Amino acid sequence: MSLDELFRHLDESYVQHHVLAPHDEARRRFQLLSHTARDAQEFKAIVAQYVQHLRAALGDRVPSENSAFAEAKQMLGRLFHGFPRQDGYENALAKGMRGEMEEVINQLAIGLKDHALDLHVDCLYYSTIDPASTEENRHLAAALHQRYGTTLRASDEALRRLVNHLPPFFRDF
């Protein structure tokens, strides 16, 4: 992939249309039957159903309930880590059982969308640049500077994530 193609796939409108908007649409279409999970089993089923719904909406392979739950549990563990419990999944479960299932699903959707953006940037970077090549990273940094100057707009999140792939001595944005 050329650097021009890389930048086209990292353009704000491209990312919004091809990466972020499908996640937003999937979240909009997912309907909770209740804002409260009665118990841990119902909570597990709801978060797994969301992941399955998302994967189907994105045209991905729909995982089994157990695989979908594992993905949701891992993400919720990161998103809700900290107070009052260290285990983020337990914090999310407690919220869901307190009538805050909508917030749990919203946060899960945001986390999965953010992860999709990370994967998009990683795929583009690693398919274009040899990360061990100083010359290729220097060339990418020079192209970034030529196109965007030394300041990226706050809305250029994909480009910011790309810059984080560069060795530290090339990151002067």
DSSP 35-102: SS-SSHHHHHHHHHHHHHHHHHHHTPPPPPHHHHHHHHHHHHHHHT-SSS-S-HHHHHHHHHHTT-HH
The pTM score is 0.90
- Specify the pLDDT at position 150: 76
- Specify the pLDDT at position 172: 67
Task: Return the H-helix or E-strand segment holding 128.
Answer: helix 101-128
- Specify the pLDDT at position 115: 97
Q: Which residues contact 104 (CB under 8 A, 6 or more apart)?
A: 47, 76, 92, 95, 96
Mean pLDDT by 10 residues, the chain (173 residues): 93 95 98 96 98 98 98 96 81 96 98 97 94 92 87 82 82 64
- Specify the pLDDT at position 125: 95
- Specify the pLDDT at position 84: 64
